[in-house]
A and B are shown apart, each in its own frame.
Chain A
Amino acid sequence: MKGDAKFTNEVLRLAGLEVRTCIQCGTCSAACPTAHLMDNSIRRLVKFSLEGRKEEALASSSVWLCTSCLLCTVRCPRGIRPKVLVGALRDIFEREGRKDKDQAYEDLFMRQIMDLGRISEALLSAEYLLADPASAVQTMEMGLELLPKGKITVQKDRIKGTDEVKSIFAELGKG
């Protein structure tokens, strides 16, 4: 099986060349708070990336189970930042136009930053509801909890610097 070298290079560009020094020790997976939920461990995502096994990497549920806790990054004996590697896989997934509900949430989040400059959580939850109707129960439950506390506010005010924010995404996010 011949790996996809273009994919490997793209991951390395986004996550750092030091990823190549991975010794497959599995410290990242051992540190991971959501490892028990994953199909492929973080260690395997690194291996897939280095071997150019693009489809296996991008189809892993693990890509969307990372909580960004950074414990893998704190502990990696090679100074690799596995959380950034997971981010690279998400980024590639999104740029290729692939879709799923986890990607939908992230996409809405980033769109809102581009549109308004800030996040309105109520608006975000409402928009996500359309992408993932199964989230209705938890969204309603949370809404009923927060509404009487005065914590549900829909802000649609824009910051002045939205053009600058848009160019951050456009220029720095270029493939």
Chain B
Amino acid sequence: MRLAYYPGCVSRSTGKEMDRSTRAVCVALGIELEELPDWSCCGATHVPNELVSTGLAARNIIQTELPIMTPCSICYSNLRNAVQRMEVPEVRSKVDAVLTKSHERARIRHVLDVILEVLQKDDDRLVVPLKDLKTAPYYGCLLTRPKGGIDSPEFPTIMEGLVKTLKAEPVDFGLKAFCCAGPIFMPQEEAAADIIYSILKDAKKAGAEVLVTVCPLCHLMLDAKQKSLERRHGEQIGIPVLYVTQLVGIALGLGPEELGLNMNSVSPMPVVEKVYERVAK
């Protein structure tokens, strides 16, 4: 399988381990990635004019003829939204007028969707079964929104399926598709901090040993801000938050370096060691 790879802006900073683990997992699964030439920002959630935001996404879509894969739910949602919006003839003609070319039948994919396609149920490549690891999938918002995508925009379940394929145990929790408030955390820090505290507490109460995310902003909020929440609330939370590509990579037997596991704020290493101990038994 050959795909155009749209890493997104955070791949170069706060989401380096997302980028690293995506590339490593794709190599391991025989997925050939070609980085999208001269890619630009999708606008994330900070371009309020929808036509401009559609134009920014469309500029990326026209850089390739291949299906485009991204590991970031925000980029994914914006690119999907642009494809949907450009079905409206008036939107299409306006956007096409400012771009060098037009796209036909673009296909936008999230890395999770690609992994689900290529990974079989009893895949020989899964050399490290994540035996009984209590894994809570956190979907956030934009993996499945706008609707019409790879799973229900209200009650998504595809990651539970993946978790089972990896021989881990999916943990369900009420706030698994509740917004992390990441897009407003710079100007509205306190409000956002309250929301992520609730999400982490909810997952912990449900018995999660590890959280899994599909979006670098959710990840930043749940992982990089976790210690600050612990200080603020005077309690230990201590839940490692892995990108889905890191979780899959561990099961594929890839090493901490290849998956950027040392770059997570809450170290996933104790959990990884536990997995290896269970496998050795």
A-side residues, CB < 8 A to B, are 14-15, 33-34, 37, 64-71, 73-74, 84, 86-91, 94, 101-102, 104-106, 109-110, 113, 117-122, 125, 128, 132, 135, 138, 141-142, 145-146, 149-153, 155, 159-161, 164-165, 167-169, 171-173
B178 on the interface (CB 8 Å rule)? Answer: yes
Among the listed stretches B23-31, B50-58, B105-113, B202-210, which one makes contact with chain A, having 4 or more residues with CB under 8 Å of it?
Answer: B50-58
Q: Can you list the 8 inter-chain pairs with the closest CB atoms, starting with the nearest? A: A90-B48, A87-B48, A70-B145, A168-B55, A68-B45, A69-B179, A69-B141, A109-B46
Q: Determine whether the beta carbon of B97 is less than 8 Å from that of A171.
A: yes
A128 touches B59 (CB 8 A): no
CB of B146 within 8 Å of the partner chain? yes
Whole-angstrom distance from the CB of A19 to the nearest CB of chain B?
13
- Could you say which residues of chain A place their CB within 8 Å of the CB of B134? none
Expressed in whole angstroms, the Cα–Cα distance for A169 and B265 within the complex equals 36
Q: In chain B between 23 and 49, which residues have their CB closer than 8 angstroms to a CB of chain A?
A: 38-41, 43-49
The answer to whether A94 touches B184 (Cβ under 8 A) is no
Contact of A70 among B94, B141, B187, B263 (CB under 8 A): B141
Contact between A14 and B50 (Cβ–Cβ < 8 Å)?
yes
Chain B contacts for A167, CB-based, 8 A: 98
Tell me what chain A mostly uses at the interface: helix, strand, loop, or mixed: helix
Residues of B within 8 A of A122 (CB): 13
Residues on A with C-beta less than 8 A from B154 are 74
Tally of A-B Cβ pairs under 8 angstroms: 182
A sample of 7 inter-chain contacts (CB < 8 A) reads A74-B145, A89-B48, A119-B10, A138-B186, A146-B265, A164-B59, A173-B49
- B265 and A145 form a contact (CB under 8 A): yes
- How many residues from B make CB contacts under 8 Å with A? 59
B14 touches A121 (CB 8 A): yes
B250: Cβ under 8 A from any A Cβ: no
- A138 (CB) vs chain B CBs: closest residue: B189
Q: How far is the CA of A168 from the CA of B82 in the complex (A)?
A: 14
* Contact call A172/B49, Cβ cutoff below 8 A: yes
Q: A102-B187, A172-B98 are in contact. Are A71 and B39 (CB under 8 A)?
A: no
Residues from chain A with a CB closer than 8 A to the CB of B9 are 118-121
Taking the complex as formed, is B227 at the interface, i.e. its CB lies under 8 A from any CB of chain A? yes
- Structural contact, A74 and B146, CB atoms closer than 8 A: yes
Q: How far is the CB of B178 from chain A (nearest CB, A)?
A: 6
Q: How far is the CA of A30 from the CA of B182 in the complex (A)?
A: 20
Q: A71-B153, A74-B147, A90-B48 are in contact. List 4 more A-B contacts (CB 8 A).
A: A69-B142, A113-B43, A150-B16, A171-B98
Contact yes or no, B98 A168, CB < 8 A: yes
Nearest-neighbor residue (CB-CB) of A125 within chain B: B186
**Chain B residues at the A interface, C-beta cutoff of 8 Å:** 9-10, 12-14, 16, 38-41, 43-56, 59, 77, 94-95, 97-100, 141-142, 145-147, 153-154, 178-179, 181-184, 186-189, 191, 195, 224-225, 227-228, 262-265
Instruction: Specify which chain B residues have a CB less than 8 angstroms from the CB of A165 in the assembled complex.
Output: 40, 56, 59
**Cβ contacts under 8 Å, B188 to chain A:** 37, 64-65, 102
User: Is the pair A117, B187 in contact by a Cβ cutoff of 8 Å?
Assistant: no
In the complex formed, the residue of B with least CB distance to A95 is B49
Contacts of A120 in B (CB 8 A): 9, 12-13
A121 to B43, CA, bound (A): 13
B195: A residues at CB distance < 8 A: 33-34
- Complex Cα distance, B142 from A159, in Å, reads 26
A73 to B84 Cα, complex, angstroms: 14
Complex Cα spacing A155 to B9, Å? 10
Collect the chain B residues with CB atoms within 8 Å of residue A68's CB.
45, 141-142, 183
A161 vs B183: C-alpha distance when bound (angstroms): 26
Q: Which residue of B lies closest to A168 (CB)?
A: B55
A91 to B181, CA, bound (A): 21
CA of A14 to CA of B94, assembled, Å: 14
Of the candidates B56, B147, B179, B181, the one whose C-beta lies within 8 Å of that of A168 is: B56
Do the beta carbons of B184 and A64 come within 8 Å of each other? yes
Instruction: Please determine whether B49 and A153 come into contact, CB atoms closer than 8 angstroms.
Output: no
Complex: chain A residue closest to B141, CB-CB: A69
Given contacts A145-B265, A160-B38, contact A71 B141 (CB under 8 A): yes
Question: Given A74-B153, A117-B40, A141-B228, A150–B263 Cβ distance below 8 Å?
Answer: yes
| Of the residues B95, B153, B227, B264, contact of A172 by C-beta under 8 Å | B95
